[in-house]
Amino acid sequence: MPVKFSKSSKKYEKGSRKWTWEHDYIKNRSKEDLIKEINEGNKPKLKQKCRIELDRRGVKLVWVKPEAKED
C-alpha cells in the first residue's frame, strides 16, 4: 500500500447516496508541500516520510543553519 500523508477520510456523495474513501497519499503532494512539512512540521515520522519521497523523486536537500540575529 502506498505511503499516506495523513489519515483517510470518508466522504458522502449526495447524488449517488454512497460513502467513498478519500486517501491522502504522499506521492500526490507537491514538492513545496513536502519541503514545508519538513521545515515546519513537528512529527518526526512524517518528516522522514517526506525526506524519503523527495529522495525518490531525485530532489537533493541542502541543510542550512538559520543565521543568528544580533540586536
CA proximity to 35, closest of 65, 67, 60 = 60
Rounded to an integer, what distance in angstroms lies between the CA atom of residue 13 and that of residue 38?
Answer: 34
Q: What is the pLDDT of residue 7?
A: 94
The answer on pLDDT for 6 being more than 90 is: yes
pLDDT digits (tens, 9 = 90+) for 7-56: 999 999 999 999 999 999 999 999 999 999 999 989 999 999 999 999 99
